[in-house]
Chain A
Amino acid sequence: MRWLPLALVGFGAALPVVLYLLHRYDPVLAVQSSLLLRQWTLLLVLAAAALSLLGLLLYPPLAAGLRLWIERTRIAWSSDRVALQRAIDELKHFENAQRHLEVARLAWIRRDFRLLANHAPRAVAFDGQLPSARYLLGQHLLENHSYQAAAEQFAAAERLDQGHAFGSSSLLCARAKFLSGDVDGALAAFESHQREYGSSHRSNFFHGEALQAAGKLEPARRAFAEAAVQPERRLTAEENYYRAQARVRSLRLGQPTATPTGGAS
């Protein structure tokens, strides 16, 4: 996604060269190609605008996903570069787990996965007893689709500091287990998480997906219905996104036979 604007600009830069080479070969072909490209670009832009508008009106996850992306971009762009640069400079003088962890933490806030990939493993290598380092390494592995390894790191973070990241460690451990194919392990982990920390729109959605994969449709419907409930307070962008996803799943799977009580506790 980050490379899409660059790709578009690069295409614009290459176009005059391509048209010039076409012109050398056949001037008529160059003009016809240019006119065709103009027509198709206009059609594509209009179609994309119409589809986006339709999607925003009819498909809730699109609007919610856009809100989440805007929120993440705003946080990434407004995070303090001075602190990150200072942390990187300090690392040059002396390496230790805390300094790698600081860089990894700031990189995670900015969603700079390249920097996170460099420093999170180093923080864990220096000191494996830091729950935050394990947690950030788990996030990096999750982004990299190494689900089993991610589950191990989240489980380690939870062992070292129960309730780490406000229960997020436990929830993401369950999620990583599900994504790695261990559905039964994931279900047990989700139930354990719910007992310890309660539920949220995100946890209910993840739990619903695992239940659906295990073939337990009625509990899955209940979970999605719980996740889809509109609360009184305004949701964060992330919770709103999972609520939107749950609404679509509820629509597909149907409503549970019993009425849900609430979205989050």
Chain B
Amino acid sequence: MKTLLEQADETPVTLLVALAYVTLAFLTHPFEATYGQHREFGMLVPMLSTGEGCWRLLASTFLHDGIVHLLLNLFGLLSLGPALERNLGSVRFAALYLLSGLGGSLACVLWYEPYEAVLGGSGALFGLVGGVLGCQMQAGRNVLSFLEYDGSRRLLGWLVFAFVLGLLPIVNISNTGHAGGLITGLPLTFLFLAPRRESGGPLVHAWRVTFVALLVTTTMWSITPVTRWDWLCEQASNQPIGQLRSQRTAGLLRAATIAEPAGIRMSGIGNTVDYWRAMKQQILEAE
């Protein structure tokens, strides 16, 4: 087992992620990518990401929308990745990338409408930024000593700039995904991945357990969002034919109607189930 881990630690994860970016970009035609192609290769649409579609939570972190998006994220990955990977080791770096990407996706699923699409590796990259900060917080003489260094302050400044840029309507940037990646990556590194200067007390152990629990239960909710109107409609529609008039189906439909956002009534499409069917058809058939 130890040998296996040592061998795994020599895998160049940053390079593999960069290769995945480029490969998927070529598969989705970076200069003329379509919605349909992105959807096929794992674009994150909350409505499609439940149940068996949960693979999109991670797949979307490797997809990019066009050559500019790809180049920007490649630049970010290759700037931060190698040094962080050397510091943490390949296995931990891979865990950081994947879990931060997951955190970014979960934030989008929680915040966005079920039919809104998002893709890109920048949630995971913000998680890497969080990883850098987490390592610096653990390595310093105290938790705040990293603020004494110019490089760290510039990194924080860059973060603020990125979030402010995301607020502008002219650029299609998901601050939600970025924030989700950052607030997953920073505590993940601080609590688990970075070498610790001191053994944690009961509070640190409690935070570790709570963090893991939050990540697990939020992922579980994203896969089975039991209070979201589109999932409830899907569950009602997926009931066996003999059960379509059952009390359970009626309950699911009634719950979907209560959970529906106000916009449905204004859309003029009729009831909640019809609206859900129309939305889903639109997403699945869009080119």
Contacts and interface: CB of A to CB of B under 8 A. Distances in A.
A77 to B, nearest CB: 5
Interface stretch (A27-35, A199-207, A241-249): A27-35
Contacts of A10: 210, 213-214
B145 interface: yes
Contacts, number: 88
Given A3-B206, A15-B217, A27-B251, 4 more contacts: A10-B214, A16-B220, A77-B143, A114-B202
Interface residues of B, number: 32
Interface in B190-211: 197-198, 201-203, 206-207, 210-211
Nearest to B254: A28
Report whether over half of chain B's contact residues are helix, strand or loop; otherwise say mixed: helix
A81 B141 contact: yes
Interface in A3-25: 3, 6, 9-10, 12-17, 19-20, 22-23
B144 A28 contact: no
Interface stretch (B14-22, B24-32, B35-43, B224-232): B224-232
B197 A28 contact: no
A79 B143 CA distance: 8
Contacts of A82: 141, 197
Nearest to A33: B227
A80 interface: yes
A113 to B, nearest CB: 11
A41 interface: no
Given A6-B210, A16-B218, A32 B258 contact: yes
A85 interface: yes
A261 interface: no
22 contacts: A6-B206, A9-B210, A10-B210, A12-B214, A13-B210, A13-B216, A16-B217, A20-B226, A22-B226, A27-B251, A27-B254, A28-B254, A28-B258, A34-B259, A35-B259, A77-B142, A78-B143, A78-B144, A81-B141, A82-B141, A82-B197, A85-B198
A84 B207 CA distance: 22
A31 B255 contact: yes
A78 B224 CA distance: 43
A34 B248 CA distance: 19
A23 B226 contact: yes
Q: Which 8 residue pairs spanning A and B have beta carbons closest together?
A: A16-B221, A23-B226, A27-B255, A13-B214, A34-B227, A13-B213, A16-B217, A31-B255
A85 B255 contact: no
Interface string B39-79: 00000000000000000000000000000000000000000
Nearest to B187: A9
A82 B145 CA distance: 12
Given A35-B259, A79-B142, A84-B198, A27 B232 contact: yes
Contacts of B197: 81-82, 85
Given A16-B221, A31-B258, A114-B201, A9 B142 contact: no
Interface residues of A, number: 34
A195 interface: no
B186 to A, nearest CB: 14
Interface string B223-256: 0101100001000000000000000100110110
B255 A81 contact: no
Contacts of A81: 141-142, 197-198
Contacts of B202: 114
A3 B203 contact: yes
A103 to B, nearest CB: 12
Given A16-B218, A26-B251, A2 B227 contact: no
Contacts of B251: 26-28
Contacts of A17: 217, 220
Contacts of A12: 214
B227 A9 contact: no
Contacts of A80: 141-142
A27 B258 CA distance: 10
B169 to A, nearest CB: 25
A82 B139 CA distance: 10
B25 to A, nearest CB: 34
Contacts of B254: 27-28
A17 B232 CA distance: 17
Contacts of A78: 142-145
Contact of A13 (B142, B145, B201, B217): B217
